[in-house]
Amino acid sequence: MLVQIALIAYAVAAGFVSAGFIGSLYQLLTDSPPKFTLAADTLITGVSSAFVCIFAGPFIIMRQAIRGRLIERRPLGWLAASTAIASGWSLCLGILVIDFALAVNGAIA
């Protein structure tokens, strides 16, 4: 039981880290924070904005939740619900990232 909890915590952490990395990389390249908007000017911008929305989603949710709590004085329940949603999303993203890393490791070795 403890091993499963540790694996879930590791997957959630891997998801948060990868979402933060992609969100920060997006912000570095565009000088604007990532948002849940789809820019469909060209095919490349549409695919890249969808990629950012999917893979940086937990980062976007938590940034907005913390900002809403500190600046807009939203209730603590709002922050807790946002954290739960971002954690679930990070779990799925972390499993995907770990599976990808294991597949790359298996292909190289």
pTM: 0.89
Cα 80 from Cα 6, distance rounded (Å): 21
Kindly list the domain boundaries of the chain, sorted by start residue.
Answer: 9-108
Q: Check if the beta carbon of residue 24 is closer than 8 Å to that of residue 54.
A: no
The residue-averaged pLDDT of 2-14 equals: 96
Instruction: Look at residue 46 in the predicted model and tell me its pLDDT.
Output: 86
**Residue 77 identity (one-letter amino acid):** G
| pLDDT tens column, 23-79 | 999 999 989 999 998 877 888 888 888 999 999 999 999 999 999 999 999 999 999
Instruction: Look at residue 37 in the predicted model and tell me its pLDDT.
Output: 86
In order of 4, 9, 52, 68, the CA distances from 15 in angstroms are 16, 10, 14, 22
